[in-house]
Amino acid sequence: MTFWDRFADTTFWDRFANTTSTSWDRFADTFLNTAVMAKYLPDIIDGFCLTVWLAALVVVTGIAAGLLLAVVRSLGVRPLNWLIIFIVDLFRALPPLVVIVLLYFGLPSAGFLPNAFATTWASLSLVLMAFAEEIFWAGITAVPRGQWEASRSTGLTFWQTLNSVVLPQAIRLTIPPLTNRTIAITKGTALGSVIGLSEILSQASSAMSLSFNPSPLMLGAAAYLILFLPVVVLGRWIETRFAWHR
Amino acid sequence: MSSPILEARGVHKHFGALHVLKGIDLAVAERELVFVIGPSGSGKSTLLRCLNRLEEPSSGAIIIDGIDLLDRRTDINHARRRIGMVFQSFNLYPHMTALGNVTLALRKVAGKRRAEADAIGGAALARVGLADRADHYPSQLSGGQQQRVAIARAIALEPRVMLFDEPTSALDPELVGGVLAVMRELRDSGMTMVVVSHEMGFARAAADRVLFMDDGLVVEAGTPAQIFTAPREERTRAFIGQIQRH
């Protein structure tokens, strides 16, 4: 059979059409099963709300702690700076999942009984703090020395200079990298599922086990998109906005 | 000479192994304009920066308006209000308008309310001929205008002494005149000034005294006429010859 004959043979094409249609049905039944989805939607919504709350907390505490460390580092006290660099490098090197597992299974032996929410919150905050500190510190050192000198020469104190002259410029520089890093670390809320935190992924996988159907996973993915897509778009908007004003 | 308003006695400055100032004595009378010239690396900028303790002198004494700047009990931030400084690279705060630059220290250091600070700042900007640029950001101003805003920022605090560190070196030639005109007006109003600069024409016309520095020492001091036309020291003669060839 020549190539042209095969091309003209309609039964050859029917075969493709048939397979496509049957496997699509199977796929839809497995991953987009509306009955299963409807049943477990409330669970996914619960997980969604918990994830939003956790993510917001991580962003606030992580960035605040990172800024605080960067400000303390700018004081230039040697032993303090070594300590800060050690902590920051430690939490930048450790995978967030390892931090979560270590805290969750390690704290009970230290006398604390952590719950999954607090552990995930603390772990991700520490990791975000470490990265935010480095980004803020880079921003502070990027402000020219002449800015400090001009301000100090008019009688402003170290703290007034930091607050009114240096940080406003430093933070403007740090917005784009900080936005990216914040999004990356906040998505780590899904790691809480490992220690039984009932966030989106955990709700979705237990729903999958109960229903013997992975459709809840698709629902979970959609929930993540609904949560993080606006954040990503907001991040892009912030980046362009702050880029103009330079 | 009446008792000096600014006095430096035996000022030394080391940067590690580098001995930059090797015992500088300087007395500046009220309303006097002292011009400091010398080759690059002679220590003239370092001397100026020691006079408001932007650089910490290694030893010696600096007394401004009766205040011993190196005394531990001296509030340096308070004392710096009496010493205005203008930098080679302007060092305006890029995130603030011209008026914001001028009023920051008025509000933070002098404790003025915003309305009062704006009035004083507006008057200072008018004095340097930039009343109509109050709302402009530094990036919207020419180099000469930026330097005039920097002068306004310093004089708004009503300092007793003004220090100029090569105020026109970073400017295009056609912009130098405007800055020198402002300095001339300041001088005529009776401001005490110490100027590090290569503007020999300005020195001849406006300076009371010219100091020639080389290798961390004041080699020679005298009236502009004496220093420029009949220098006593060989090193002074060589330097004057070199700069006048251009």
A238 in a structural domain? yes
Higher confidence at residue A145 or residue A12?
A145
Domain that holds residue A82: 36-243
ipTM value for the complex: 0.92
Number of folded domains in chain A?
Answer: 1
Whether A150 and chain B come into contact, CB under 8 Å, resolves to yes
The distance from CA B19 to its chain's CA centroid, rounded to whole angstroms, is 23
Q: Report yes or no on A29 lying in a domain.
A: no
Instruction: Tell me which chain B residue has its CA closest to the CA of residue A158.
Output: B77
A200-211 b/e with 16+ CB inside 10 Å = b? bbbbbebbbeeb
Which residues of chain A have a CB within 8 Å of the CB of B104?
A: 151, 154, 156, 164-165
The DSSP code sequence of B19-69 is EEEEEEEEEE-TT-EEEEE--TTSSHHHHHHHHTTSS--SEEEEEETTEET
Q: Is A155 on the interface with B (CB under 8 A)?
A: yes
Q: Give the model confidence (pLDDT) of B158-214 as tens digits.
A: 999 999 999 999 999 889 999 999 999 999 999 999 999 988 889 998 899 999 999
pLDDT digits (tens, 9 = 90+) for A50-108: 999 999 999 999 999 999 999 999 999 999 999 999 999 999 999 999 999 999 998 88
Is residue A90 in some structural domain?
yes
Interface check A151 vs B, CB under 8 A: yes
- What's the pLDDT score for residue A240? 79
Has residue A178 been placed in a domain? yes
3-state class (DSSP) for residue B221: strand
Average pLDDT, chain A: 88
Q: List, as own/partner pairs, every contact residues A26-34 make where C-beta atoms lie below 8 angstroms and the sequence separation is at least 24, other chains included.
A: A30/A213, A30/A214, A30/A215, A31/A214, A31/A215, A31/A217, A31/A218, A32/A215, A32/A218, A33/A213, A33/A215, A34/A215
Q: Which of A147, A156, A168 sits opposite B91 (nearest CB)?
A: A147
The token duo for A96 is 């967030």
At A188, which amino acid appears? G
Residue A244 has pLDDT above 50, yes or no: no
pLDDT digit string, tens, across residues A177-208 = 898 888 888 889 999 999 988 889 988 889 88
Residue A66 within any structural domain of the chain: yes
Dist. CA B120–CA B110, nearest whole Å = 11
Alpha carbon distance B223, B76 (integer Å): 33
Rounded to whole angstroms, the Cα distance separating B227 from B233 reads 9
A209-228: average pLDDT: 90
Which among A204, A194, A185, A94 has a CA at the least distance from the CA of A132? Answer: A185
Residue A28 lies in a domain: no
Model pLDDT, residue A246: 45
CB contact under 8 A, B91 and A157: no
Instruction: Report the pLDDT value the prediction gives residue A8, as an integer from 0 to 100.
Output: 65
In three-state secondary structure terms, B12 is strand
A114 CA: distance to closest CA in chain B (Å): 45
Tokens for A184? 């990356």
The answer to whether A144 contacts chain B (CB < 8 Å) is yes
At B2 the pLDDT is 65
Question: Strands B6-15 and B59-64, how do they pair?
Answer: antiparallel
**Torsions phi, psi for B56 (to 5 deg):** -85, 115
Whole-angstrom CA distances from A21 to A28, A118, B165, B175 are 11, 48, 81, 77
In a domain, A14, yes or no: no
Q: Is residue A129 situated within a structural domain?
A: yes
Number of helical H runs and strand E runs in chain B: 9, 10
Q: Could you tell me if A157 lies within 8 Å of chain B, comparing CB atoms? A: yes
Check CB contact of B83 with chain A, cutoff 8 Å.
Answer: yes
Domain of A194: which CATH number?
A: 1.10.3720.10
Residue of B109, B149, B166 to mutate when probing chain A, most A C-beta within 10 A? B109
Least confident of A7-11, A23-27, A107-111, B104-108: A7-11
Test B104 with A156 for CB contact under 8 angstroms.
Answer: yes
